[in-house]
Amino acid sequence: MKSTDLCPRLQKSMDIIGRRWTGLIIYQLLQGPQRFSVIEASLPVSGRLLSERLKELEQEGIVLREVFPETPVRIQYSLTDKGRALESVIRDLQQWSDSWITAEECQSESVRPH
């Protein structure tokens, strides 16, 4: 791989997972397929923004949105192979934060839905 190929690819990957809440959505979906309401309840994020991020991840091929023709209709989100391939990255970030981010630093950050 030429070094000129690396920067645009790295930039694209950082743009995808670096968006606010995206990493935490992926982290949540690592537990397995989930309905929108379960994801929404697990994160302090607005439904509108969660919906937007899930659509973006679906467009990137990271999340699969599956509609079950039941009454009422059931929609479930899960990670694709491409999404599951991010598990080691997410776990490494978790390990890094456990080692380098203090509880006080977490509490000083205000976590609000956007």
pTM: 0.84
What is the pLDDT at residue 113? 44
Of residues 4 and 67, more confidence is placed in: 67
Residues 67, 77: Cα–Cα separation, whole Å: 9
Is pLDDT at 9 greater than 70 in this prediction? yes
User: 37 - beta bridge partners?
Assistant: none
Which two three-digit tokens encode residue 83? 């999404």
Instruction: Identify which has the larger pLDDT, 108 or 97.
Output: 97
Between 105 and 57, the higher pLDDT residue: 57
pLDDT surpasses 70 at 6: no
Cα–Cα distance between 79 and 89 in angstroms, integer? 14
Q: Are 55 and 97 in contact (CB under 8 A)?
A: no
Separation of alpha carbons 62 and 84, rounded Å: 8
Distance CA 69, CA 83 (A): 25
Judge whether 65 and 58 are in contact, CB under 8 Å: yes
Distances (CA, A) of 5 to 1, 8, 26, 60, 78: 7, 6, 26, 19, 30
